[in-house]
């Protein structure tokens, strides 16, 4: 599997694993079968995954608890990326809160729940429009100076917001909605390439259920699923893209990770 170095010093395999689907319905509460969730996490690491993406809002704190139970003490090469800045009043509801005291509180809570002394990659889950972005990112920068955070990232942002954040502190990653059928963040991806910032597309497999002829034909030619082809396309699309497909199934996990072995020709890529 090809690699990318986040922030200049964290080298990870480019195909990671996002844990959001390991929660209960509405991304709320524990899953019906926590032992299965633990088995999926352990299998991901066994298969060589070195980047796991979580958030305090998943559950809330459910996936962090499962990660610790499954994997602590953590392998030296495992990077756990997490996010703060979204609250969960009820299942299916997400409300941004970027007040500095809240971001600090949730970071401290994530450290304890995950069993970490330092978070390798802490991402602002959403920019709170009620709080200056400089104050939100500045809080994360303070936590970095205190040794509690290694690198800082952003989620669902514009190029203008990235630049505003960079004026405060270095930004190591961006996590925006991006996939084969939704490329509205092309400008953000181009900026990430220019700045050598990791780009973690969330919902990387959205839209594959309505696969067009080119995608289905390429998948058939390779003898793989359309989901695998969509992940291969993302890996081919840019060297800074680090897909983090999620699943609660060991079988689907294996299928997703196999996408890293698919080689697309330039003609196939152009058609897609």
Return the pLDDT at 42. Answer: 98
Phi-psi category of 146—alpha, beta or left, where left has phi over 0 and alpha has psi -120 to 50? alpha
What residue ranges do the domains of the chain occupy?
3-208+233-262
Say which residues have a Cβ less than 8 Å from residue 113's Cβ, sequence separation at least 6.
56, 61, 64, 65, 68
User: CA 246 from chain center: how many Å?
Assistant: 9
In the chain, at which residue ranges do the beta strands (DSSP E only) sit?
3-6, 10-13, 17-18, 51-53, 79-84, 86-87, 95-96, 119-124, 149-155, 173-175, 198-199
Q: What is the pLDDT of residue 6?
A: 98
Q: In CATH, what class is 3-208+233-262?
A: alpha beta
Sign of CA dihedral 134, 135, 138, 140: negative
- Per-residue model confidence (pLDDT) at position 272: 83
Q: Report the predicted TM-score, pTM, of the whole model to 2 decimal places.
A: 0.95
Active-site amino acid positions = 58
**Mean pLDDT in consecutive groups of 10 residues from the start of the chain, 272 residues:** 95 98 96 98 98 98 98 98 97 96 98 98 98 98 98 98 98 97 96 98 79 78 91 96 97 96 88 84
- Which residues lie across from 175 on neighbouring strands? 155
Please give the pLDDT value at position 210: 57
Contact 179, 190 (CB under 8 A): no
């Amino acid at each position: 599997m090809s690699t990318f170095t986040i922030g200049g010093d964290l080298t990870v395999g480019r195909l990671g694993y996002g844990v959001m689907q390991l929660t209960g319905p509405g991304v709320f509460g524990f899953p019906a079968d926590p032992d299965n969730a633990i088995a999926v996490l352990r299998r991901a690491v066994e298969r060589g995954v070195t980047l796991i993406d979580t958030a305090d809002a998943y559950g809330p704190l459910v996936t962090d608890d499962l990660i610790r139970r499954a994997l602590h003490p953590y392998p030296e090469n495992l990077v756990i990326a997490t996010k703060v800045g979204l609250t969960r009043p009820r299942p299916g509801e997400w409300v941004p809160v970027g007040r500095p005291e809240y971001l600090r509180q949730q970071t401290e809570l994530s450290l304890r729940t995950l069993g970490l002394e330092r978070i390798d990659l802490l991402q602002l889950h959403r920019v709170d429009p009620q709080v200056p972005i400089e104050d939100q990112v500045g809080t994360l920068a303070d936590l970095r100076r205190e040794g509690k955070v290694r690198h800082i990232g952003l989620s669902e942002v514009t190029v203008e917001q990235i630049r505003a954040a960079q004026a405060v502190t270095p930004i190591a990653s961006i996590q925006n909605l991006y996939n084969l059928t939704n490329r509205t963040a092309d400008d953000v991806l181009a900026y990430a390439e220019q700045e050598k910032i990791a780009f973690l597309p969330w919902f990387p497999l959205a839209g594959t259920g309505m696969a067009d002829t080119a995608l289905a034909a390429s998948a058939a030619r390779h003898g793989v699923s359309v989901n695998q082809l969509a992940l291969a396309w993302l890996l081919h699309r840019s060297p800074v893209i680090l897909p983090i497909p999620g699943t609660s199934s060991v079988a689907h996990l294996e299928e997703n990770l196999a996408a890293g072995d698919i080689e697309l020709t330039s003609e196939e890529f152009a058609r897609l």
